[in-house]
Structure 1
Amino acid sequence: MYSRIIVAVDLEQIEQGRALLTRAASLLDAGGEIRLLHVLEEVPGYIAAELPSDISDRRRAEAAVELRAMIDPQDDLRVAHEVRHGAASGQIIQAAEDSGADLIMIASHKPGLRDYFIGSTAARVIRHAKCSVLVER
């Protein structure tokens, strides 16, 4: 069905990420690739000034370890992982464009009041992605 799938993972919701990965495997064409993606939001400058200078590198390394742990080496799948920095929706869309993905999979939570004013990540991805988007609740 799909040859390149981006699975956007929020590492604070790791079980949803695992469920998305399982579902992606069932939708993947033979010889296709799944790319697990986690986006680290930028820390505001006034907070970053108080943090250790290598905090960004440590956060990236920790996220990469968690993504790798999601990949079962016994599975006969091509699964890569990537950690990006920036606004989640923009980075997810950019990763899909960079890799030529034909599907983005993302989990959604029950919207709260905050989401009605600024919109959720999933909603922004749906509005702006150039490929299909599957949202899992």
Structure 2
Amino acid sequence: MYGRIIVAVDLEHVDQAKTLVKRAGTLLDAGGEMRLVHVLEEVPSFIAAQLPRDTQERRRAEAMVELKALTDPAAGLRVVEDVRYGAASGQIMQAAEDSNADLIMIASHKPGLGDYFIGSTAARVVRHATCSVLIQR
């Protein structure tokens, strides 16, 4: 069905991530690529100055390990782990553009009052993505 799928992964919600990855595996064409994208928030410079120099690299390495654990190598899928820094919605859409994705898959929580004023990451991706978006609840 899809040759290149971006799966937006929030590592704070691993169960949702596992569900998304499993579903993406069923939608992926043979020989297709699944890209697991996790976005780390940038640490403000005034805080980063107080942290050990390797903090960002350790955060990235930990995220890569957690992303790799979401897939089963025996499944034979081509999976790429991608950890980025910045605003989640923008980085997810940039990953889709960079890889020429056919589909972005993202989990969403049930909207609350705050989502009507600010907008959730999933809502921003749906509004601005240039490819199809699948929202998993």
Task: Calculate the TM-score normalised by the size of structure 2.
Answer: 0.95
Deviations 1:64-89 (A, max 9, x none): 01001112111021111110001000
Does 2:129 match 1:129?
Answer: yes
Q: What is residue 60 of structure 1 aligned with on the other side?
A: 60
Q: What is residue 110 of structure 1 aligned with on the other side?
A: 110
Q: What is residue 71 of structure 1 aligned with on the other side?
A: 71
Moved over 4 A (4+): none
Unaligned residue ranges in structure 2 (runs of 5+): none
Instruction: Determine the C-alpha separation between the residues in 2 that align with 1:15 and 1:48.
Output: 30
Q: What is residue 33 of structure 2 aligned with on the other side?
A: 33
RMSD over aligned Cα atoms = 1.0
Give the counterpart letter for 1:48 in structure 2: A
Does 2:14 match 1:17?
Answer: no
Give the counterpart letter for 2:21 in structure 1: L
Does 2:76 match 1:81?
Answer: no
Unaligned residue ranges in structure 1 (runs of 5+): none
Matches within 5 A, 1:1-12: 1-12=1-12
After the TM superposition, which of the residue ranges 51-60 and 111-120 deviates more from structure 2?
111-120
Q: What is residue 44 of structure 2 aligned with on the other side?
A: 44
Measure how far apart 1:45 and its partner are: 2.6
Give the counterpart letter for 1:28 in structure 2: L
Deviations 1:20-58 (A, max 9, x none): 001001111111110111000112233223222211111
How many percent identity over aligned positions?
72
After the TM superposition, which of the residue ranges 21-30 and 43-52 deviates more from structure 2?
43-52
Deviations 1:97-125 (A, max 9, x none): 00010000000012233322211000000
